[in-house]
Structure 1
Amino acid sequence: MTYAAYFESRRDEQLNELSDWLKIPSISALSEHKKDVLTAAQWLADTLKKAGLEHIEIHPTEGHPVVYADYLHAPGKPTVLVYGHYDVQPVDPLNLWTTPPFEPNIRDGKLYARGATDDKGQVFMHIKALEAILKEEGTLPVNIKLCIEGEEEIGSVHLPPFLEAHKDLLVADAVLVSDTALLERGRPAICTGLRGLCSMEVEVTTASTDLHSGTYGGAVPNALHALVSLLSSLHDDKGRIAVDGFYEGVPELSQVMREEFAKQGIDEEKIREGLGLSALYGEEGYTFVERVGARPTLELNGVYGGFQGEGTKTVIPKQAHAKITCRLVGDQNPQHILDAIEAHLQSHIQPGAKVHVRQVEKAFAFNSDPSNAFLQLAADAYGKVYGTRALFTKDGGSIPIMESFSRILKAPVVLMGFGLNDENLHAPDEHFNLENFDKGLLTIVEFLKSAGTAELAAE
């Protein structure tokens, strides 16, 4: 039986099985769902056992557990470590879901549920691909390890220590990850770069209490005015970040890199129209895809303070707040960036106001070499199934743990995703296009089989 026939004959059964996993509200960010996260981990462990994997263990951490499994019966062949996550994002606002987020529903060739594309659906494909090879051939063409965590959606806080503590257990020749997207339908891509991340919360304070705007207006500092002025100083009028030292470690875009970005054929006008914008905006001198894939950012994610209720309240607020995140590239150091922004804010605050900063997230950017043999085999595998070889791209998003895998395990990371960018991950009506579920299964099988026959020396 061909693998295409194998998966077709089991499609309904496998989608029902995936739906059972998607019904579990494994929201790692919310403490009331801690038991659900553990239930999802146990479901995963049970499913790995049924698929034929071995040495399955649920490893506790100080947060949510890591699920490990392996199948190591291919001496002399490479070892591939599959990484993914079984936790999901919160579902708010609930009223914007067409069907309940934890009641999986298939319509128009798409599976709707929280976690359908990010990342349960994509992890599930790896399990089923491995199960298929074991059933059809009795063994695997490479050595396989799986490391599936439950904290990716809250920054993988406890996974780096786990990797450090279990380096011998997790040692591999390549790390295989499906948590990214195709360029568009029918156009596969392998991401060779992810931006890093850092974040902070900013509070501006003035008087000891809110003040009457008639009695004090025009004569005392206003926390909102001070904050707005402060935030506007972070960029110049050409979209460039105006913080001293911010661009340290940012590589210049070479002509070769610009040509690679151009190959993606991104239609900026189509993007503008699709977003309902009158114009795109960003750092001057770069295209949309260059800004997203290769340039750092400083974004305001929330600004609030003062009276928020209905009507008017003539008050001078004593406090104002902002949330800031930065996407980082190249060798930018997130701690240096946070310190530089904090120094900028302190030096630009209006007289009479004080600024307080709480530094939060820190993650380095990730980059991989597209000439690596494993990445080339992955591109070929896409080509055989999709009919077009994968392009090598850089993604504007962040998966902080990718840098940790690359650094700690010293193995190339193959970001072999099967999602689409319009599948509402992190938003209401998250879904997974089943066309890519079907093709993804075949692509994973093709990659593993080719990795087992290629001239790749196992370490």
Structure 2
Amino acid sequence: MEHGQVAHGTDDETGNAAAGAAIAEAVAALMPRARRELAELVAFRSVADPKQFPADECRAAARWVADALRAEGFPEVAVLDTPDGSQAVYGHLPAPEGAPTVLLYAHYDVQPPLDEAAWTSPPFELTERDGRWYGRGAADCKGGVMMHLLALRALTSAGGGVPVGVKVIVEGSEEQGTGGLERYAERHPELLAADAVLIGDTGNVRAGQPTVTASLRGMAAVRVRVDTLAGNRHSGVFGGAVPDSLTALIRMLASLTDADGSPAIDGLDTAGTWDGAPYPFPEDTFREDAGVLDGVGLVGSGTIADRLWARPAVTVLGIDCPPVVGATPSVQASARALVSLRVPPGMEAGAAGELLAEHLRKRVPWGARVTVEPTGEGQAFRADTGSPAYGAMAAAMREAYDGTEMVVVGKGGSIPLTSLLSGLYPKAEFLLIGLSDPAAQIHAVDESVSPEELRRMAVAEALFLRGYAAMARR
């Protein structure tokens, strides 16, 4: 099956209609509990950066997930201390005789809330508004934790129990990209071994359209610092003769893109094309999804799918400099920035990150001192969409979404663990699903999740687990 192609399964892969209806009814009955529990989970300020929020917030979120798995009857539950200082929660429910094992992934850590005052409702307080639930992590990816729990509970409530072996891994530093769980998995390669891996951290191309993501860009991030003076100096007395570090940094950052916004990093291949079947991406719809202002053009060249899924993208994530309010008339002695480079499948993230770092080093003006250090890295990923699990998921999603066919697409974001697991377990089947539809605004102010998408995706996951077990029996 090609990427972007509508996927077809068979009716017997999800069992009879009565069993499917029982699962759907069970999920619907569990939704009020899911809302209460998601509110509890969202309340943890689990940003995996102790410079911003106390580390106890992440540890408390990990304990919550571990307790939830124990309550579901998992005989083996552990909170794992990983090499980057974060904690990952592991649970194992052994497989019935002859049944396959499925690994369910999500993460409880979240992005910082940015400007909390800009949120319509408090970021760490789940709030219902206009048919959506708002809160940091509601979609990315605490909602994914709830999706997994709902699916498992529904299988038990509908009768028959969970028909496959289940391993659950919920990590605590995915958003930071510091690789704690990746390093732990490398040292314990047997821990996460499974026949199928269900990554619950992507989403549907739009609400109501069931979607599996089969391609991810990787990521390399660097922190660049420029120093020019022993300390700030009065811009009237010294300006015009002494070098301003902030201006130097701006010049360096401006060199990262061409006039049309395409990456212009020395030695970086920027001509990739999306070779899967094209998912229809009307520019007007894409602009609306992205919130591009009227009159503002898109950047880059090629199709939108090329730009999002098959080519690198460079973004300046932040700059340390004085805020406009309260700024003094000074030449800046030091300035720094955080730069992210997304890399497509087929491009090694570490090598691309070094090209980015070397490009910046070569562009520093006026002999200023520059340091460039890597801050995170994750490899790109591409799945085998012809594997049997895709047929089981297509059938499950068709039933959960009342006949709407599943589509298979790429995604421009990164989930660093996915590439590592595909290398550790080359025979495993990988499917990426989740709750981040375009309205979710993940990583931004007013992140939200659609409870209807949570309900349907939980039904789809439960049906998939049942159908995947049936395939193994046959």
Q: TM-score, normalised by structure 2?
A: 0.86
Shift of 1:436: 0.9
The 5 A counterparts of 1:273-288 are: 274-284=291-301, 286-288=302-304
**Following the alignment from structure 1 to structure 2, what is the Cα–Cα distance between the partners of residues 36 and 273?**
31
Shift of 1:137: 2.9
3-state DSSP class of the match of 2:419? helix
Shift of 1:192: 0.9
Shift of 1:71: 2.0
Shift of 1:207: 4.1
**Following the alignment from structure 2 to structure 1, what is the Cα–Cα distance between the partners of residues 156 and 337?**
53
Deviates more, 1:222-231 or 1:424-433: 222-231
Aligned to 2:455: 438
Shift of 1:307: 8.4
3-state DSSP class of the match of 2:158? helix
Q: Is the counterpart of residue 246 in structure 1 residue 268 in structure 2?
A: yes
Aligned to 1:193: 215
Is contact 1:212–1:316 with CA below 8 Å preserved after alignment? yes
Aligned to 1:137: 159
Is contact 1:304–1:322 with CA below 8 Å preserved after alignment? yes
Q: Can you list the C-alpha shifts for 1:329-360, whole angstroms capped at 9, x where unaligned?
A: 12322322232233323333333433322222
> Structure 1's 226 and 176: CA in aligned 2 closer, same or farther, altered over 3 A?
same
3-state DSSP class of the match of 1:99? coil
Shift of 1:266: 5.4
**Aligned mate of 1:30, from 50, 66, 80:** 50
Q: Is the counterpart of residue 16 in structure 1 residue 32 in structure 2?
A: no
Q: Is the counterpart of residue 326 in structure 1 residue 341 in structure 2?
A: yes
Read off the aligned partner of 2:92 and give its amino acid letter: D
Aligned to 2:309: 293
Q: Is the counterpart of residue 41 in structure 1 residue 75 in structure 2?
A: no
Q: Is the counterpart of residue 429 in structure 1 residue 450 in structure 2?
A: no
Aligned to 1:346: 361
Aligned to 1:372: 387
3-state DSSP class of the match of 2:92? strand
**Following the alignment from structure 1 to structure 2, what is the Cα–Cα distance between the partners of residues 23 and 207?**
44
The 5 A counterparts of 1:404-419 are: 404-410=420-426, 411-419=428-436
Is contact 2:218–2:380 with CA below 8 Å preserved after alignment? yes
3-state DSSP class of the match of 1:67? strand
> Structure 1's 2 and 216: CA in aligned 2 closer, same or farther, altered over 3 A?
closer
Q: Is the counterpart of residue 206 in structure 1 residue 228 in structure 2?
A: yes
> Structure 1's 134 and 52: CA in aligned 2 closer, same or farther, altered over 3 A?
farther
**Following the alignment from structure 1 to structure 2, what is the Cα–Cα distance between the partners of residues 337 and 105?**
41
**Following the alignment from structure 1 to structure 2, what is the Cα–Cα distance between the partners of residues 391 and 134?**
29
Q: Is the counterpart of residue 93 in structure 1 residue 108 in structure 2?
A: no
Deviates more, 1:353-362 or 1:9-18: 9-18
Is contact 1:306–1:319 with CA below 8 Å preserved after alignment? no
Aligned to 1:183: 205
> Structure 1's 374 and 265: CA in aligned 2 closer, same or farther, altered over 3 A?
farther
> Structure 1's 214 and 117: CA in aligned 2 closer, same or farther, altered over 3 A?
closer
Is contact 1:52–1:134 with CA below 8 Å preserved after alignment? no
Q: Can you list the C-alpha shifts for 1:53-83, whole angstroms capped at 9, x where unaligned?
A: 2212222334232222222232222210111
Read off the aligned partner of 2:305 and give its amino acid letter: V
Aligned to 1:123: 145
> Structure 1's 269 and 423: CA in aligned 2 closer, same or farther, altered over 3 A?
closer
Shift of 1:456: 7.8
Q: Is the counterpart of residue 355 in structure 1 residue 352 in structure 2?
A: no
Is contact 1:65–1:149 with CA below 8 Å preserved after alignment? yes
> Structure 1's 156 and 74: CA in aligned 2 closer, same or farther, altered over 3 A?
farther
> Structure 1's 184 and 350: CA in aligned 2 closer, same or farther, altered over 3 A?
same
Q: TM-score, normalised by structure 1?
A: 0.88
Percentage of pairs with the same residue: 31
Q: Is the counterpart of residue 403 in structure 1 residue 403 in structure 2?
A: no
3-state DSSP class of the match of 1:127? helix
Q: Can you list the C-alpha shifts for 1:426-447, whole angstroms capped at 9, x where unaligned?
A: 3333221111122112111111
Deviates more, 1:264-273 or 1:78-87: 264-273
3-state DSSP class of the match of 1:427? coil
> Structure 1's 251 and 381: CA in aligned 2 closer, same or farther, altered over 3 A?
farther
Q: Can you list the C-alpha shifts for 1:371-394, whole angstroms capped at 9, x where unaligned?
A: 122123223321221122221111
Is contact 1:296–1:329 with CA below 8 Å preserved after alignment? yes
Aligned to 1:453: 470
Is contact 1:205–1:223 with CA below 8 Å preserved after alignment? yes
Is contact 2:384–2:430 with CA below 8 Å preserved after alignment? no
Is contact 1:79–1:145 with CA below 8 Å preserved after alignment? yes
Q: Can you list the C-alpha shifts for 1:11-63, whole angstroms capped at 9, x where unaligned?
A: 32332233333333333223653223222222222222222322122223342
> Structure 1's 368 and 211: CA in aligned 2 closer, same or farther, altered over 3 A?
same
Read off the aligned partner of 2:163 and give its amino acid letter: P
Q: Is the counterpart of residue 391 in structure 1 residue 412 in structure 2?
A: no
Q: Is the counterpart of residue 162 in structure 1 residue 197 in structure 2?
A: no
Read off the aligned partner of 1:452 and give its amino acid letter: A
CA RMSD of aligned residues (A): 2.7
Runs of 4+ in 1 over 6 A off after TM superposition: none
> Structure 1's 182 and 349: CA in aligned 2 closer, same or farther, altered over 3 A?
same
Aligned to 1:233: 255
Aligned to 2:72: 51
* Count of aligned pairs between the two proteins: 450
3-state DSSP class of the match of 2:202? coil
Is contact 1:375–1:414 with CA below 8 Å preserved after alignment? yes
Is contact 2:178–2:377 with CA below 8 Å preserved after alignment? no
> Structure 1's 206 and 75: CA in aligned 2 closer, same or farther, altered over 3 A?
same
Read off the aligned partner of 1:18 and give its amino acid letter: L
